[in-house]
Structure 1
Amino acid sequence: MLDNDGLVVRHANTAGRIVVYDFSLLPVGAAMQRSLAAVFAGSCTPRTWASHSTGRTAWRYVRRFADFLSTMQRPPADLDEVTVAVWNEWVMSRPATGAGRLDVVSVARLLRQDARLQSGAAGEALARRSRKPASSVASYAPAEFDQVRLAARRTFRAARLRIADNARHLQRWHNGEFREGGDDWLLGEALECLARTGDVPRYAPKGIAAAGVVHRYVRVLGGQGGDRTWQRLFLSLHEATALGVLLLAEFGWNLAVISSLAVPQASPDPGEDGARTYRIELEKRRRPAGRQFETRNVTDDGAGSKGRLITEALEATRFARAAVQELAPGNKLLIVWRTSVAVRGLADLDREPPLGPFRFGIETRAAMAWARREGLDGSPFQRGRRTVNALYRREPGQNSQATHDSTYVLTDPQVRHDALPVIAAGAEEAAERARRAVLVAEVRDQADPGDLETATADCHDYTNSPYPGASGSCAASFLMCLGCTNARVHPGHHARLAHLHHALDNLRTALDPAVWHGAWSDTFARLDDLKSKVGSGPWAQALERVMDADRAIVGHLLTGELDT
């Protein structure tokens, strides 16, 4: 990675392609150049920086830092002269934005690889954490996201139907259904050549560089443009981008994952219902080594399902993938599209190199161009992914739960706005439940001789019940005594009530949560309140004093036998 004089770093990505960085071009002294090259080279491994995009970004940070050092009145000659004052001046020179923070954090991470900056005052300054600014990227409002999905669905559907229609014509030609020499037969022959070679039959007139479509096919094809020739069986970049947007909307994958997506494999056994289940292999390059690959299973169980989109993607790209296999057997990428423009070289070494007229994956520039053409603002992938993760998914898709919550959910303005009525309703419900389920019965140290004993408490005024029956007496269940102002609870009741509390807690594990909540949650909450008033120690002692009579009465309460 580092050459003999220590000034040139060669970074190889996971595909083995190399980018060279020449540190002799930095406007600092030779010693500083070598030190910066050494710490940079320490990360130039596929296990640390798997892609060239990461290396290029880090190179920009290093160049900015070197440019800053060159403007100082007395630039440090080497990293051991980077003092706290130098570092603080660099920090203060960066703008108070997310980009400025990345400059500081990224350079600090690199410099701390040097042993001279791992301790001491300078090391502590580099290790100081900085507050991450709030993201300026907000999710789409539901109506906006529906517009994005509708635009992508409209574009991809038109392309898929076009390819399917030409595929049927080609199959009929193979079946010998057309009269040889007729228009349908000539169109079928042109499609066969297109599927086999990637282009319709062409000829190169003498002295003319560009090859034209053979004359006898021009009329049946309807012209010589891409929309009349190769687009009959292959996606264009605009259409491939629309497919990528749909994959984003369904699965929440980012652009890098979609671009590197391998062809999903269908299960050999579709099951009794005939539905196909696909095994999807995902590569997530930003994850640590050993955790970059995972698989997902999705089933095509009808229109609108996630699996149906995979089926449609396979159908729309099948001719392009077959043509690519002829050029480079073993290629497994799903997103394949064709172009009319010749490529002079591969600008992005992280991407799969072109094969003839075929390209792979989707670039950010293409995403932005797609959005402009559809009348949308900016690339849909970053905002779209935030929308899927923040608004439509309750569990993390590609991140830990902590990252999912802190990065996508809690910081999103749309989520916070939509959560306000939910939070308010929840608070009101909790307050109402607290008012209903709080222990209302009076807690006393001893019994009142004039009170009447019930199954759960003593009643101080049986004839003036808050829940009167037809005869004027109390019509409430004995469980409601704990929520009645006439009730009195003293230590003589503690053992039975502690046993009831314990029984309800056990019952919660045996019943459906909704059933338990509707029948027993209020009583359990009142007993919890009583336990807090009595104290955990006396409550545990009361539970040890439970008698058989207490157990029998609690059993009758739970079965409802005391309500009749």
Structure 2
Amino acid sequence: MSGRGRKAVLPPPDFQATERIAADGLQVTVLNKEGFERAFDFAAIAVPQPMRCSLARAFAAQSMGWNSHASGEPYWRSIEVFALFLKAQGQPAEDLGDLNSATLRLWRNNHKDTPGGREALGKMRTLLKREPRLAQGLAAEELARPVPKKGKPSKQSYRPSECDQVLLVAERQFRAALLRIRENTALLARYRAGALAPDSRDWRVGTALEHVAATGELPGFPDKAGKVYTRAEGLLRERTVGRRRVGCS
């Protein structure tokens, strides 16, 4: 939009893209369908001056098909991303015609795996293919490669009926676990109070629970060879994980 948002005079039918570029070659003015102006300033793009001018010309040519300022936003963002990429290479090309296939391939590989990166690839591919000096050779072949499409998601969401089933199974498992915790807490309290008959199964379970509460580990017992192994695992299995696992089919 112009400085104060004034409405500009609509261009004539034979208006050319070059007339949208300021005298310094760095500012492109885009008119929306209501005739309001917006200026895109390429002087702020972090690339050498010749490349700024070339990008401005490509942007202006592309803008001929736009009827809103929003149409230019993704192209503008893509140019900024491309400029940052070139700057990170240390020795950016002086102009668009100096871009080689290796640089364009690296640009592609660095941005093909994210939605924002693919958008930048697509918009810059459109702009760079407007550059006559990139119409032939290895760089042209690199630009001719289509932008990778979004890959299929590795995980699929559950359907509503499947979600209901998963929630039902989870609720059952949680309820069973809560009951076991309560039962074990009550049994441990009876063990500590001396209310269990010595050498009974409940007493042995209480002994194991007391050991777990004190050490965080299952008690171990020596086998015939003198090696330590855990017998309490089988003793506590039914009281900790239940008799069987509930599956989700």
For the residue of structure 2 that corresponds to 1:90, the secondary structure is helix
CA distance in structure 2 between the aligned counterparts of 1:9 and 1:129, rounded to whole angstroms? 28
Question: Letter of the aligned partner of 1:114 in structure 2?
Answer: E
Query: How far apart, in 1, do the equivalents of 2:37 and 2:143 lie?
Result: 30
Partner residue of 2:49? 30
CA distance in 2, matches of 1:134, 1:12: 36
Residues 404-433 of structure 1, C-alpha deviations (whole Å, 9 max, x = no match): xxxxxxxxxxxxxxxxxxxxxxxxxxxxxx
- 8 Å Cα contact 2:63/2:72 also seen in 1: yes
2:81 to 64, 67, 71: 64
- Counterpart mapping for 1:68-217 below 5 A: 68-94=85-111, 96-134=113-151
Q: How far apart are the structure 2 equivalents of 1:36 and 1:142?
A: 49
TM-score by length of 1: 0.24
Superposed, 1:43-442 pairs within 5 Å as 43-45=62-64, 48-94=65-111, 96-134=113-151
Q: Distance in 2 between matches of 1:123 and 1:69?
A: 18
What CA deviation, in whole Å up to 9, does each residue of 1:433-464 have, x standing for no partner?
xxxxxxxxxxxxxxxxxxxxxxxxxxxxxxxx
> Following TM superposition, by how much is the alpha carbon of 1:93 offset from its aligned partner in structure 2, in angstroms?
1.9
CA positional deviation for 1:50: 2.3
Q: Partners in 2 of 1:139 and 1:20 — Cα distance?
A: 44
- Tell whether the 8 Å contact from 1:10 to 1:44 is kept in structure 2 after alignment: no
Query: What are the Cα deviations for residues 309-345 of structure 1, in whole angstroms up to 9, with x where unaligned?
Result: xxxxxxxxxxxxxxxxxxxxxxxxxxxxxxxxxxxxx
The answer to whether the 8 A contact 1:26-1:33 is kept is yes
TM-score of the aligned structures, taking structure 2 as reference length: 0.52
- Matched residue SS, 1:9: strand
SS in 1 for 2:90: coil
The residue that corresponds to 1:20 in the other structure is 39
Match of 1:199 in 2: none
The separation in 2 between residues aligned to 1:68 and 1:131, in whole angstroms, is: 19
Provide the aligned length of Structure 1 versus Structure 2.
140
Contact 1:68 1:90 in 2 (8 A): yes
Q: Is the alpha carbon distance of 1:55 and 1:139 closer, same or farther for their aligned partners in structure 2, counting shifts above 3 Å? A: farther
Structure 2 CA distance, aligned partners of 1:123 and 1:51? 30
* Paired residues of 1:98 and 1:132 also in contact (CA < 8 A): no
Residues 251-287 of structure 1 show CA distances to partners (whole Å, capped at 9, x for unaligned) of xxxxxxxxxxxxxxxxxxxxxxxxxxxxxxxxxxxxx
Change (3 A) 1:15 1:132: same
In the TM superposition, residue 104 of structure 1 has moved relative to its aligned partner by: 1.1
Q: Which has the higher contact order (CA 8 A, sep 6+)?
A: 2
* Cα distance in structure 2, aligned partners of 1:97 and 1:135: 13
- What is the CA–CA distance in structure 2 between the aligned matches of 1:140 and 1:5, rounded to whole Å? 57
Look up the SS of the partner of 2:143 in the other structure.
helix
- Show the counterpart of 2:198: none
Q: Is the 8 A contact 2:26 2:41 kept in 1?
A: yes
For 1:83, the aligned partner's letter is N
- Describe the superposition over 1:80-105 as per-residue Cα deviations: whole angstroms up to 9, x where unpaired: 11000110111122151232222112
Shift of 1:61: 0.2
- One-letter identity of the residue aligned with 1:92: N
2:58 maps to 1:42:
no
1: CA distance between counterparts of 2:151 and 2:144? 21
Deviation at 1:40, TM superposition (A): 0.5
Return structure 1 stretches of 4+ with deviation > 6 angstroms: 138-143
Gaps of 5+ in 2: 1-19, 162-249
Partner-residue secondary structure (3-state), 2:72: helix
